[in-house]
Chain A
Amino acid sequence: MGVAIRKTKAELGLADLYQGARRYLPGGEEITAVRAAAFDRFDAVGLPHRRVEAWRYTDLRTQMKEAKRLASLPDDAAKTKAREASNLFAGAGFRKLVIVDGAFVPELSDLADLEPGLTIQPMADALAADQPLLLQRLGPVVPDDDPALALNTALAANGVVILVAPGTALSRPIHVAFVTTNWVATSMFTRSQVNIGAGASATLVESHQGPDGTEYQVNTALQLVVGDEARIDHVKVVTEGNGALHISSLLANIGARATFNQLGFVAGGSLVRNQLFVHIAGEGTVADIRGGSLLAGAQHADTTLAIEHAAENCQSRETFKAVVGDTARAVFQGKITVSPGAQKTDAKMMSRALLLSDEAEADSKPELEIFADDVQCGHGTTTGAIDDELLFYLMARGIPPDEAKALLIQAFIGEIIEGAANESVRAALTEAMLGWLGRRE
């Protein structure tokens, strides 16, 4: 439009954050340059708003009132809080890595007896060492015009780098716990990199949590590289506090004949944006991408998925469900792109929303963009309330209405949870779901 739009308080605040932090952010000359370019990209467009198609339903420009100051490094009190924080995966025997207020904390993390072929490093160290791997991944990201991701690249101070060497079958799942402890609202930018080498396999669980009653801001990104014939089971659970702004970007690049299972689960936060950019680069890969959101109060959760089938003979299933109560709003945008030559692509996307109140809202925007002629692609979307007939059937057997509704909600979201291959993960997600239902009573 060429007209300079007055910057919002949050945009000015973000610029201040970057200007104030850039000299201290980890990384040598090259990384500093990548950060500067990323910030310029953000600065040119500003916070996304409803006229930006990819952010149509989540007007960050309006909803993000200000930029909170960057979180300081966790002190002993913060570490104690993080240690004592609830853990959905406690007792599952997962290797736990802990990120407190955006900083990787080795002493809270289980770094002992790393399996052969497994390397774990704080992202801050990797950045400070100017690792070429990160430069490759920090620079030419897809999409390069997303403002939230650009901000992440500019400001990410820490996170974790996990490398699983080719052929390594990691039997012990890794749990990366992102814990916000601050009662004073701060902002945290974390970036992680996970590489699953050719023929390797791993289960990676991310959890994001924090205190209620504080408007903290999280911008987190994960770059995931999955090699040929590799398998990754990735689960991300958001149980952020009720004031939190949580923006997350997943950038997945998947090789040939690989298995990619991704499950996102939202049962917390005030405003949540989960962006998934999935690129299937090699033939014969199978991807299963699921999401479940449990929303109440005035929560807003947006899942935006862009999956690109760039190779032949790949299959993908995208299944997203949202339970929306009170005045909450669930957004699903899903786009499947089939590149020229990606013949025999088989992709099916489904999004369903269950509305629990008259004021609840669900928006769904599925898209298919197909440039190959021998493919099977489809999408569907449904929105509805709890079925009165089913409710009566349960009540006629003596089940009280609230319990009957809870049972129907569990049944609805259960399809998503069942997608997790790991039993402990299913148990943890079920616990998160029951916790959510319990808070509603």
Chain B
Amino acid sequence: MTALLEIKGLHAEIAGGRKIIQGLDLTVNKGEIHAIMGPNGAGKSTLSYVLAGKPGYEITAGEVYLNGEDLLAMEANERAAKGVFLAFQYPLEIPGVATLTFLRAAFNAQRKARGEEELSSPDLIKRVREIAKTLNIDAEMLKRPLNVGFSGGEKKRNETLQMALLQPSLCVLDETDSGLDIDALKVVANGVNALRSGERGMIVITHYQRLLDYIVPDIVHVFAAGRIVRTGGADLARELEATGYGQYQSEAA
């Protein structure tokens, strides 16, 4: 069986030469949820950006495959069309682009890239509205410019809406819990859990264990100084909550 995502010996640095990811190996199979936990500055967000294809990072060694295809050879938009979705820690505000316009552009661009037929506007709007309802997003918000003036919770719900609409095969959630109160967190977590499926894999990046009470992972990794230093089950997250990351930081250093 081909793994959904396979990262082998990955090294990455940011422009300027600072090494961020230093020898990462990770395999995510379909149906699995992996949590990546670690101290601030460990390179967790960098990992999410490298997977999504953000410019500005140099891959100095290693390979990344999605369903057996070389992910690193693709542009960000090509990766998205192949099924990679990054839920941003800080979703960007785009004045002048209505949320619906953005959703339509993204949805149809991915379909086009895959050689599938584009969805007509009424059909798409109907689909978006159905998902929006489950996330408590009102129709008025969809007409507003993307994320402009949205609260932290609204932005994260909007990310979840995009994820549900685009139906990616690999979801990378970068600090999805940041800036969320407990009610918003539950709504977002429910949205994410609704997307759990045997065909989809997820990487949940978080500093705190709290999120993992709501999105329960199959596997938990401790990420420090650019690589995985420990792997365990869901109970590892609770252990980390009790002990902190201190031992891993000194270990990595």
Point out residues on A near B: beta carbons under 8 Å. 388-390, 392-401, 403-404, 407-408, 410-412, 414-415
Partner of B166, one of A398, A400, A403: A398
Beyond known contacts A392-B54, A411-B97: 18 more, CB 8 A cutoff: A388-B55, A393-B88, A394-B102, A394-B105, A395-B76, A396-B77, A396-B86, A397-B80, A397-B102, A398-B80, A398-B109, A398-B113, A398-B166, A400-B77, A401-B75, A407-B102, A410-B97, A415-B95
Chain A residues lying within 8 Å of B105, measured Cβ to Cβ, are 394, 397, 399, 403, 407
A interface majority secondary structure? helix
Q: Does B137 contact A (CB under 8 A)?
A: no
Instruction: Tell me, rounded to whole Å, the shortest Cβ–Cβ distance linking A322 to chain B.
Output: 15
**A390 and B92: CB pair below 8 A?**
yes
Residue with the highest number of chain B CB atoms closer than 10 Å, among A393, A412, A415: A393
Select from chain A the residue with minimum beta-carbon distance to B86. A396
C-alpha spacing A400/B52, complex, angstroms: 14
B96 lies within 8 A of A414 (CB): yes
CB within 8 Å for A389 and B110 given contacts A396-B53, A399-B105, A400-B77: no
Total interface residues in chain B, CB < 8 Å: 31
Complex interface: chain B residues within 8 A of A408 (CB): 94, 97
Chain A residues closer than 8 Å to B9, beta-carbon distance:
none
Question: Which residues of A lie under 8 Å from residue B75 when comparing CB positions?
Answer: 395, 400-401
Are B80 and A407 closer than 8 Å at their CB atoms?
no
Give which listed residue, B53, B101, B166, contacts A395 with CB less than 8 A: B53
B176 sits at the interface (CB 8 A): no
Interface centre among A397, A398, A411, A414, by most chain B C-beta atoms within 10 angstroms, is A398
Contacts of B52 in A (CB 8 A): 392, 396
Given A395-B53, A396-B86, CB of A411 within 8 Å of CB of B95? yes
Contacts of B101 in A (CB 8 A): 407
- Residue B91 is within 8 A (CB to CB) of chain A in the complex: yes
Closest B-chain residue to A410, C-beta based? B96
- Specify which of A396, A401, A412, A414 is in contact with B80 (CB 8 Å cutoff): A396
Shortest C-beta distance, B127 to chain A (Å), equals 16
Q: Are B94 and A411 touching (Cβ within 8 A)? A: yes
Residues of A within 8 A of B162 (CB): 397
A395 to B110, CA, bound (A): 10
**What are 6 contact pairs spanning A and B, CB under 8 A?**
A389-B92, A392-B52, A394-B94, A397-B77, A401-B75, A415-B96
Tell me whether A392 and B94 are in contact (CB under 8 A): no
Residues of A within 8 A of B141 (CB): none
**B106 CB within 8 Å of chain A:** yes
Cβ-defined contact, A401 with B92, below 8 A: no
Q: Are B94 and A399 in contact (CB under 8 A)?
A: no
Residue of B nearest to A406 (CB): B105
